[in-house]
Amino acid sequence: MTGAGLSERIAARAEAAGVPVECALSDALARYVDLLVRWNERMNLTGLTDDDAGLDRLVVEPLGAARRLPTGALRVIDIGSGGGSPAVPMKLARPDVQLRMVESKSRKAAFLREAVRHLGISGAEVEACRYEQLAARVRDDERATVVTVRAVRLDEDGFECLSRLLASGGRLFLFEREDGDGGARVGGRFASMETYPLVESLRSRLVVLSLVGDQKA
């Protein structure tokens, strides 16, 4: 399903989750999902589809997370951006955000660049590299206000690496199920944790970890 029908379904799913959207945003999200589905027919970008559960995961979860972004000018780095969710829907919901999507697989990075072009998104760029490589060369003025992570396995070294991508006082957004272990990361680099429900039927939540101290390498 594409066009107006898909836009209406997205609006209905968002409304059901308590994150109502205006028509212009649901239309833009429908264009993103349509592009993703068409590219997914040629390459394996994501296992998600445009059924209700897929829409909840692809666009509704990010819409809920976008509401938790700080106000004012901010930079967001999305790790393992893949098919563009949660980064692209969050950017569409908050066009003022400066977005950097990090994706090591070249074909997925190509899709992300096409999504930016196709949707007419400004203030977004794609880094075709591993996040560890970006962390090793990031400049102080490039550090993010928020780093977002979904479906990326992280060990202690991974969390340490992500901390170097964050400005002092920055936040790490972890998308996970209710039984996830994001809260276990409180302590050390991360001083506090907040959790927010995202989509009830998916039992998903957003875990927000706050960074303290000067993270200059």
Assign a CATH topology to domain 3-211: Rossmann fold (3.40.50)
Q: Where are the domains of the chain?
A: 3-211
d(CA 89, CA 75): 15
How do residues 118-175 score in pLDDT, each as one tens digit? 999 999 999 999 999 999 999 999 999 999 999 888 888 888 899 999 998 899 999 9
Res 152: pLDDT: 86
Per-residue pLDDT band at 181 (split at 50, 70, 90):
confident
Which letter does DSSP use for residue 70 in this model? P
Q: Which is higher by pLDDT, 13 or 217?
A: 13
Handedness of CA 165, 172, 108, 3 (dihedral sign): negative
How do residues 57-87 score in pLDDT, each as one tens digit? 999 999 999 999 998 879 999 999 999 999 9
Q: Which is higher by pLDDT, 2 or 18?
A: 18
How do residues 193-214 score in pLDDT, each as one tens digit? 899 999 999 999 999 999 876 5
pTM, full prediction: 0.92
Res 1: pLDDT: 46
Q: What letter represents residue 48's amino acid?
A: L
The two three-digit tokens of residue 131, written as one number: 């996040």
Residue 164: how many CB atoms within 10 A of its CB? 18
d(CA 123, CA 161): 24
Q: What's phi and psi for 205, nearest 5 deg?
A: -150, 160
Q: Lowest-pLDDT range, 23-32, 108-117, 173-182? A: 173-182
Contact 75, 142 (CB under 8 A): yes
Res 185: pLDDT: 64
Instruction: Quickly list H helices, the chain.
Output: 3-16, 23-40, 52-55, 61-66, 87-93, 106-118, 131-137, 156-163
182, pLDDT greater than 70: no
How do residues 16-66 score in pLDDT, each as one tens digit? 999 999 999 999 999 999 999 999 998 888 887 778 999 999 999 999 999
Buried b / exposed e over 173-208, threshold 16 CB at 10 Å, is: bbbbeeeeebeebeeebbeebeeeebbeebebbbbb
Residues 6+ apart with CB under 8 A from 64: 17, 18, 19, 196, 197, 198, 199, 206
Q: What is the SS3 assignment for 66?
A: helix
